[in-house]
Structure 1
């Protein structure tokens, strides 16, 4: 009887509770999905639209940077410079330059064509897929508008336009490169790179048959990109959708437009850095078409869940009956029956222990996830992405950041410090702290209420763990100020190579400006001039001043300036190669040089790199100079061999023969041969006279005349001085 009552009571209660819980959950989920489907779907698409805009902005910046770098490198190539500015060009140079343009175009599948404009010849040279011609007859007539007047507003900026080609007009973005100092009153020469819009199609997966339409529209209503190419550069300023989007005065959002079958959703986004709106237009049915099928699916799900819940409730209730009956029996039974049932109770106890263990593991996982969220939120604050004070306070409370808003904070920057080094460091001795890693092995530690001894312990442990630079800010009054201090410390950590290992620096001692500085062009010009003269030591002194000037500003400016100097040195090497220097030069690529700057550990490594390069310049110039002087000396010796019989043979005569000054010829010959030109000429003449005296019976008077002496007595005196005998005595002795 007792067994029946327990079974009946517990079975019905468990069955009812499980069924009610499942039904209530399913009904609530169904209601939520039905009521919030449109809002959540449009919000998701709008968020995707913003992400697409951000991704496009990054890729657009990358494309512009890539085009600018490759375009600038191509612009400064000597062959392209000739094609751009030289008046009379040999056909061979033209063909070589166009092949170079073709090679650059082939490296990027989205490059439609490349033009080089030569104002001196009134001619436009183009890649092989477009016919080169005069400006008046050039097929792509629209490009000529980029070359007239002051074009500063077009320089290095993408210009949407139609390009004429043999296949018709093609929408492109054009990038124009030209020398700033040659723009007035007319551009003397320019390089134009035309990029197709296919790269945007790849980003948005904007293919034929897509359910949405994608477009970029500027603030004036001109379409810079559209799924339908025929809409390119069309103005929709008077279109109702455009007016409604502009009137919303919001950087992103969506709104329904139209009615009936023509009803659609318009999503738009606009970044602060880019004046273009990104618009996506979806048919209403594409967004909301699944709501009916979802309702049916929800109904079927409810029915299925109820059925499964009923079955599970029966099984669970019958499974739970045994331990329940065991407890009831133990209360009402004797000791023997209790001992008989001891095994099942032990099983129930161990099951409860396993449940508790699983609960602890879940709590640990939840705590780890919460810590990651806290780190991400703190990183956003340090990077200045959460600038609203109210939002920042809300984030502190929502994610329970372990800092009091009433007490000052402390900020410590460490580099290099990876996760393994962080484990060795051990920050458990700090009462309240959070560490936030950044790229480049940089770490920021935010702490609170640390005394001087704790900060000193942190420094000592950091150095022992391999940290090379530690930067302290001992007092930050409010979290609002974290971003400004963090930006200064993070930027200084990128210059860790300028400090000795194990240095401790206070943030208030930092003097670096985060603004972009002015490139020291005069120092670069002076340095290149000294290198061209082979003055390596003086060039290195100028480099030291150059380094100190660019290191006053942000690392981005430092990296750009060093890269530009490196490119200038490479151009100087190429210029000197035309004179026979640097024949076997093996240059480090620009990309690898830039990576070496990012991973630089000690400044001495960079200084040694440039010092060795400057020494190489000096060595190459000395070698080329010695080689050139040797060639001049050999040329002079050849002239002497040919003209020794000429009475007019003298230093001036030889200088005129090699088209050089008398003093230069005298110095070069003396340095190379160790004797003066006159002594060498005299030696050659005396040698020829001795040969004739030994091998022939020619009178001495005729021999003197044959070697360029017009005075026989003078010849006698010189020969005796050189050989120790008179010519006749020399002849007699030679024939003994």
Structure 2
């Protein structure tokens, strides 16, 4: 008994159809399987990475903004502490009620200027009192913030006076504390604890961090470089702080980490420097399950979705395979009839696609063979012949005529001329396009020029001559003016379609084709005239005026004027002379124009060298000039380069002279200051009159040479003399300072204490005893 399998029989009868189904199903299963595996294995990892990087970016921005806010508070605290009334009040041993009220008003204004400031108070160690922005005047012994007083009295803690994280008692709520960051400005460090204290509300400061994420169960903490907790959203013990600090020992980043006795966490950390005083570590911890709980549900639903898609795509695959196979079967039948194939099995493959492939391959080979033969025999051969005709010119008139007939070239034997389209900015053209692209662009140029000129002139041939130009062999039937207009149109079309600028040259009309080589060389030489006419010029041999052909030399009077301008470093005058000479060069043919320009540059170089003590750089050499002529191609492009070289050389010459002139200026100023220290009228005005300069010029020149002002120099030298007098004698202070130009005792005390940190009496008492001098 034989078993029949319809599917197997169909496979043998229609192998291509069954193969299509098999390929579609296999590809479908493979794509779905890979997609599912990638999604299942990479979804959580990818999302965690995205969330981690996003959270890191948010934390970095929040850290920077918080650091800037803290830096602003620090700057504000120190600027506020410099208030003269606050400083005087903190260092006074007595004060009135009105003064106390004024100081309290100022402290209240400082506190109200920023919502993140919790409180401000002023400590007076001489009266043992504290004036607070909230409670007013208090005795130090009964002040609610004894912690800061103890810190200032403790030598081990008094050095840390800024960015102190601590808990501040609430004065009106017993047992209540608030997290603050304290900034202390000591007025007399080491002598007293009189100070300006500003407390920043930590929770208000961290508002940006608290609103930085949508995850409610996250943990936020900020630690300083003393391993102190600046802020945390939950209570933390010392071990937890150290554990998180160890994870955040870096600039910024994120990682999945499992803290002790907790579930996996996404830890995000960033560092920020506060004015270079402290480094704060910002740490954010988010439970991993909080991020991925919805992702797991979505991933499981994906399994069901992919299963349904697989079944649906399988059904669609069967239907599509039938529709794809039917046209293939019809195509095979038609091809077999056309090629008189009898049946499958008679020297032919039973696979329909193999049969079609063999037929199409044979046809394609024949097409390629015919195409190559035609291309080589017509296009390349004609191009090669014309290039050799122009480049060598070794053929006789009869040989040229025979080649024209062989290659079907339609050109008259007489009255032909050469037109050359030469690419401008060719060094940039080489850097932009490789050789293959350059050939394609020259081919496109030839086609554009051919189509443009063919509308006006009937007989022409374009030839790719390689390198930077194409040539056109043409018989001109129109007037010269009209033909030049047609050349400009072709030039504009090349620029429009290829974005390539060209210089066009049209040579003389030749009576015989055997002279075409000489005409080509003459026309190419004519393109060199773009040096004086500029890029984009259309140059016709008939339109050039006759010239003497002599090399231009700078007239003696102009050379003398140029030498004077260089001597005076007068760049505008020198440039004007150079520009006048360049205008004269434009009337000369290319070779004479080029040689004249080199001669002019060498004359300019010689005159500059005569005024300079050092040799000029190699950029002024002959090789540099010739390279620039090749690179820039035109006189218009060379003039800015020459202007730059001349201007820079004159600036360097002027700077060298100015440097030598100002060498003794500072010595003269300081010599006069030293001799006039006892003169109360010593000032910038007096020095300016002495030196014959304006006050503003004297100040700016001295500042640029010494990086300090004249007033600071006078004050410094006077204070040095007064300090020597204080240590050398017991004379009263008033006569000493009067002898050195200080008319106001209050002004002197303010300046002296600002520079040395103590009063003159304290300075004499401290440094006269041990013989050392404060620096």
Q: What TM-score results when the alignment is normalised by the length of structure 1?
A: 0.40
TM-score scaled by structure 2? 0.39
